[in-house]
Chain A
Amino acid sequence: MSILVDKNTKVICQGITGNAGKFHAMGCRDYGTQLVGGVTPGKGGQDVEGMPVFDTVEEAVQQTGADATMIFVPPPFTADAILEAVDAGIRIIAAITEGVPVIDMVRVYEKVKASGSILIGPNCPGLITPGECKIGIMPGYIHTPGKIGVMSRSGTLTYEAVWQTSSLKLGQSTCVGLGGDPIVGTNYIDLFKLYQEDDQTEAILMIGEIGGSAEEEAAAYVKEHVTKPVAAFIAGRTAPPGKRMGHAGAIISGGKGTAEEKVAALEDAGIVVAPSPAEMGEAVLKAIKQA
């Protein structure tokens, strides 16, 4: 097994007629993902590289049986695109778009939580079950099917972690980019629940960064509920306070959200924390050996 997506997942792309949408939708199809179509309002009936384009998500779901979507629409329209996917009953919604206003996400978050849909992102690379289904912008070839669940608030840092676990022949069950914004649809705890119950996942690697308290909350959850080996890395030990480090959510404010606090909370929960980003894979090995 794996979590969230597998070879049976049918995927559409909202924003498929845009440059980024088209490029990455085709990248996913080439990887082997069951891409079944796309949505762009006003462009229904067109065709993108053999993929049917629909005006609405509802229509796309009716005609293709899609149960997942990746969203590449510009930031002013992202909240609306997510809500449309929720309304159409899409199960997995991956919002790749960066730059969504946080107030929009407040509105969206409530509605997603009240629905049966799972939102990944926004401002994220997407998710992948290696060898089966890639939904997003990550380079597919660095992944190998395997036993580590990887989740992260960062994109390229996830690639680094995936690369290290692939090099150590551990492979990955499912990798999920949670997104770098202050409010995202899915957090570490949601995924810890899924990884804990997944047969294929033998150990979990969480990659965090400065800002907010999601890592601390996750640590408390792991202490109580997770029996599988867990390793972690926190980016931003050298980040100065009060400065936004690229991601809208990566900021130390009012003395809160520092790497030190997060590392301390993780270690307190028995999680192996990699001291350097070059040692994420090693940290997973160590966590497995300790268990």
Chain B
Amino acid sequence: MKIHEYQGKELFRAAGVPVLEGHMVTTPEEAAAAYEKLGGKIAVVKAQIHAGGRGKGNIIDNPDQKGVVLCKSAEEAKAAAAGLLGKKLVTIQTGPEGQTVGKVFVEAGCDIARELYLGIVVDRVSCKPVLMVSTEGGVEIEKVAEETPELIHKEGFDPAIGLEPFQVRKICKKLGIEGAAAKSAFKFMTAMCRFFIDYDCSLAEINPLVITGSGEMIALDAKITFDENAMFRHKDLESLRDLSEEEESEIRAGKAGLSYVKLDGNIACLVNGAGLAMSTMDIIKYHGGEPANFLDVGGGANAAQVTEAFRILLSDKNCKGVLVNIFGGIARCTTIASALIEASKEVGFTVPLVVRLEGTEVEEGRKMLEESDVDVITAVDLTDAAKKIVAATA
């Protein structure tokens, strides 16, 4: 689960990770008032979307309107907010269609002496959380990792203990952080690693992380992703979820206990198991088609879930055909077949439907489909299924 920068910073403040004062607003007038409230000479107006690269990104059809704007008056703050709110911001992470800006964050300015990058992830190779700090703040970390990986300093840590003091000293030495800034860095990095563990993050990124003229380390950004699997112990975080940032059909699928990702093609697929679902997309493409989605109905799918899955697939206006690929293990082919028959009565198929069944209770399942009045094109194996759906939708 992703959250907005302003939400991340509220959590940071409570966890002792230094941030600047700021206010989240939803209208240009409020942005002007927030500027006055901050009382400084400069403030920064920042678009709040769940994607990085906002500073370099711009509003669609308005290349001059960047996602992050430095303002020197209440009027400028108001104008910046007006230029962003309700419009689509395109960044390197949003894709060409962009993401609508519903909120902006008006934050106090500060005296920046250095810009750094800080990130924490769970490293899959060492199987540990790893703190990464780089001198290359403010730029895309992916680029740094690609071109100059030696500039990223990494320290793995034990989740029960957190970052050890010597690890902070190593990082400071490598980055040339001394004196007051080193003290501030110790407090900052220790608190940040604690935060990552306490909140079950899967990603925490601060870019830029700054050191001020007086040697204070401050988070100017907060990009946080929580581990969905750990949400059961963070019920309070649920209220931070912003559904307007998520694809509507994906929210709907989530509610039905389905794992669904919308894609741009026109052949919808319904599969049991994540690996097989991905492979079904792959084989559609391999035979010249374009998959419209990833959909895993899971092992214990019941009729209601499968019916809802069909509704979601058919509500995609690009959908020209549906491929059902089931390898029955726990999920029985008969369950899927009867759900399919139920769903067709309720939803009504207007596009070609190719079904490939294999595994537990396959003969009975196939027979049920044959005897029903659902218009099904049956396939004997994966290749046959892919070829038939591609032909039927061509």
Number of residues from B at the complex interface, CB < 8 A: 57
B278, A250: Cβ atoms under 8 Å?
A: yes
- Among B38-46, B124-132, B210-218, B366-374, the one that faces the other chain is B124-132
Contact partners of A42 in chain B: CB under 8 A: none
Known: A75-B229, A101-B227, A103-B230. A246 touches B296 (CB 8 A): yes
A139, B276: Cβ atoms under 8 Å?
A: no
CB distance from B219 to the nearest CB of A (A): 20
B275, A254: Cβ atoms under 8 Å?
A: no
Where the two chains meet, the residues of A that have a C-beta atom closer than 8 Å to any C-beta of B are: 75-76, 99-107, 109-110, 125, 137-139, 142, 152-160, 163, 180, 182-183, 207, 209-210, 212-214, 217, 233, 235-240, 242-250, 254-255, 275-278
Within the assembled complex, what's the spacing in Å between the Cα atoms of A238 and B334?
30
Residues of chain B from 100 to 137 with CB closer than 8 A to chain A in the complex: 122, 124-125, 127-129
A240, B263: Cβ atoms under 8 Å?
A: yes
B270-298 toward A: CB 8 Å interface, digit per residue (1/0)? 01111111111111111000010010100
CB distance from A146 to the nearest CB of B (A): 19
CB distance from B89 to the nearest CB of A (A): 16
A238, B282: Cβ atoms under 8 Å?
A: yes
Q: Give B141's nearest chain A residue, CB to CB.
A: A254
CB distance from B170 to the nearest CB of A (A): 21
Main secondary structure of the interface of A (DSSP, over half): loop
Q: Give A209's nearest chain B residue, CB to CB.
A: B275
Kindly state whether residue B145 has any CB partner on chain A within 8 Å.
yes
Q: Which listed residue, B146, B232, B283, B329, touches A276 by the CB 8 Å rule?
A: B283
Kindly state whether residue B381 has any CB partner on chain A within 8 Å.
yes
List 9 extra interface pairs beyond A213-B124, A235-B279, A238-B284, CB under 8 A: A103-B227, A110-B127, A153-B275, A163-B358, A209-B275, A236-B278, A238-B291, A245-B277, A278-B381
Contact partners of A76 in chain B: CB under 8 A: 232-233
- For the complex of A and B, the 5 pairs showing the least CB-CB separation, nearest first, are A154-B275, A246-B274, A156-B273, A157-B275, A101-B230
Q: Which listed residue, B229, B259, B358, touches A246 by the CB 8 Å rule?
A: B259
Known: A180-B275, A245-B274. A106 touches B229 (CB 8 A): no
Where the two chains meet, the residues of B that have a C-beta atom closer than 8 Å to any C-beta of A are: 93, 122, 124-125, 127-129, 141-142, 145-146, 158-160, 197, 200, 202, 227-230, 232-233, 259, 261, 263, 271-286, 291, 294, 296, 299, 327-330, 358-360, 381-383, 386
Contact partners of A137 in chain B: CB under 8 A: 299, 329-330
Q: Give B285's nearest chain A residue, CB to CB.
A: A238
A-B contact pairs, 23 of them (CB 8 A): A101-B230, A103-B122, A103-B197, A107-B159, A139-B330, A139-B360, A153-B275, A154-B273, A155-B299, A156-B271, A156-B329, A160-B327, A163-B358, A180-B274, A182-B124, A213-B124, A238-B291, A243-B294, A246-B294, A246-B296, A247-B275, A277-B382, A278-B386
Q: Give B140's nearest chain A residue, CB to CB.
A: A254
Contact partners of A138 in chain B: CB under 8 A: 329
Within the assembled complex, what's the spacing in Å between the Cα atoms of A198 and B280?
33
A139, B359: Cβ atoms under 8 Å?
A: yes
Contact partners of A153 in chain B: CB under 8 A: 275
Q: Which listed residue, B146, B227, B274, B382, touches A160 by the CB 8 Å rule?
A: B382
Within the assembled complex, what's the spacing in Å between the Cα atoms of A20 and B330?
10
Within the assembled complex, what's the spacing in Å between the Cα atoms of A107 and B197?
11
Within the assembled complex, what's the spacing in Å between the Cα atoms of A137 and B300?
12
CB distance from B121 to the nearest CB of A (A): 9
